[in-house]
């Protein structure tokens, strides 16, 4: 099986490199080889490599900047997947595309006012440009009629790139006090786990001979997420606690303070509820879903001991 993999400089794309089946022949073009803002380059790369499967974790993920850079976000998150889908259709190839909890409004509650996990058939209503462009990408793929899996995930982190985990580690090593939003709920996802689960799904596809039947039975939208519910504040507290236990802070833990999102204004509005039900995914692919704490522990175990050289991390993306 020939797989074209995008975004390998990103968190998930990078992790996918080591979790796809060994039998697959993988082509991972760099941004210089395939700029997703350039339609002709996308078409040329796909037409030359002739993949059986395109895996697209690449995205414009700068959620706040997207409010200003609307055209760029639209080009990478909506137009590029639309072109991939069109080219996949021509080749009869499949497309595995990643999307986000930000396609939802984040206000799903039960009658008692408790947050309810979204299911794939729930109405979408993105609150920000990033979410709108990601939703447009999903819709273009579906309309194209190509074989596809759209995997919506949330709160992605790793030791690579820009993310909340690295930002908290950096700030906890520098500051005496951290003030973190405690009224937005969701599930953190380690890129390594997302890649492992994705690799498992691709393995199943391979075992089944990449047949039309497989795609017509299993194709569609899924939530791909670890289990459990937490807030950014609880997530940050768990990161700091684990780092401290493992001697990876290099100083005493900072004081942790929870604040409402209203005290931390950002250019892009963010959902209060990012919880994603994975029942559909489990039923379709038989995946065992780990809880987010287990994934966090596994990630922290791979953080090198603290040195004077601080981890390079700049801020929360999505």
Ligand X SMILES: NC(=O)c1ccc[n+]([C@@H]2O[C@H](COP(=O)([O-])OP(=O)(O)OC[C@H]3O[C@@H](n4cnc5c(N)ncnc54)[C@H](OP(=O)(O)O)[C@@H]3O)[C@@H](O)[C@H]2O)c1
| Residues near ligand X (CB under 6 A) | 7, 9-13, 31, 35-37, 57-61, 76, 98, 100-101, 134, 153-156, 161, 317-318
Two tokens at 300? 């922290």
The DSSP code sequence of 256-303 is EEEE-GGGS--SS---SB--B--HHHHHHH-PPPPBHHHHHHHHHHTS
Residues 95 and 87: their CA atoms lie apart, in Å, by: 10
Two tokens at 198? 């994705």
Identify which of residues 195 and 249 has a Cβ nearer to ligand X in the complex: 195
Could you give the C-alpha distances from 36 to 46, 54, 75, 76, 84, in angstroms and in order? 12, 13, 7, 6, 10
Identify which of residues 6 and 249 has a Cβ nearer to ligand X in the complex: 6
Identify which of residues 7 and 199 has a Cβ nearer to ligand X in the complex: 7
Identify which of residues 62 and 249 has a Cβ nearer to ligand X in the complex: 62
Minimum distance from residue 48 beta carbon to ligand X (Å): 17
Residues 85 and 74: their CA atoms lie apart, in Å, by: 16
CA 54 centroid distance within chain: 16
Closest CA to 81 of 33, 39, 128: 39
CA 221 centroid distance within chain: 14
Two tokens at 3? 């797989």
Identify which of residues 155 and 292 has a Cβ nearer to ligand X in the complex: 155
60 catalytically annotated: no
CA 117 centroid distance within chain: 17
Catalytic residue chosen out of the listed positions 98, 102, 118, 130: 130
Closest CA to 96 of 19, 44, 158: 19
315: which residues sit within 8 A by CB, 6+ positions away?
162, 167
Identify which of residues 234 and 244 has a Cβ nearer to ligand X in the complex: 234
- Cβ atoms of 80 and 7 within 8 Å: the answer is no
Identify which of residues 28 and 240 has a Cβ nearer to ligand X in the complex: 28
178: which residues sit within 8 A by CB, 6+ positions away?
168, 171, 172, 236, 240, 254, 255, 256, 257
The catalytic residue positions are 130
């Amino acid at each position: 099986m020939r797989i074209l993999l995008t975004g390998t400089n990103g968190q998930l794309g990078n992790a996918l490199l080591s979790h796809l089946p060994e039998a697959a022949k993988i082509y991972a073009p760099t941004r210089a080889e395939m700029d997703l803002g350039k339609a002709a380059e996308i078409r040329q790369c796909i037409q030359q490599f002739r993949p059986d499967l395109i895996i697209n974790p690449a995205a414009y993920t700068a959620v706040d900047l997207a409010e200003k850079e609307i055209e760029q976000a639209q080009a990478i998150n909506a137009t590029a997947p639309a072109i991939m889908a069109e080219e996949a259709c021509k080749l009869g190839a499949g497309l595995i595309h990643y999307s986000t909890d930000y396609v939802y409004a984040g206000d799903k509650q039960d009658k008692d006012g408790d947050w309810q996990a979204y299911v794939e058939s729930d109405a979408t209503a993105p609150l920000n440009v990033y979410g709108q462009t990601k939703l447009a990408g999903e819709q273009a793929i579906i309309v194209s009629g190509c074989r596809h899996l759209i995997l919506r995930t949330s709160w992605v982190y790793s030791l690579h790139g820009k993310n909340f985990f690295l930002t908290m580690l950096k700030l906890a090593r520098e500051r005496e006090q951290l003030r973190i939003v405690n009224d937005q709920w969701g599930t953190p996802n380690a890129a390594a786990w997302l890649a492992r689960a994705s690799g498992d799904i691709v393995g199943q596809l391979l075992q089944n001979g990449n047949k039309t039947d497989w795609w017509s039975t299993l194709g569609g939208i899924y939530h791909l997420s670890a289990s459990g519910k937490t807030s950014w504040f609880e997530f940050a507290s768990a990161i700091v606690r684990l780092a401290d236990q493992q001697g990876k802070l290099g100083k005493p833990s900072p004081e942790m303070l929870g604040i409402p999102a209203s005290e931390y204004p950002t250019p892009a509005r963010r959902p209060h509820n990012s919880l994603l039900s994975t029942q559909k995914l489990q039923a379709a692919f038989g995946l065992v879903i780990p809880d987010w704490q287990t994934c966090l522990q596994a990630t922290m175990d791979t953080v090198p001991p603290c040195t004077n050289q601080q981890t390079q991390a700049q801020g929360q993306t999505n």
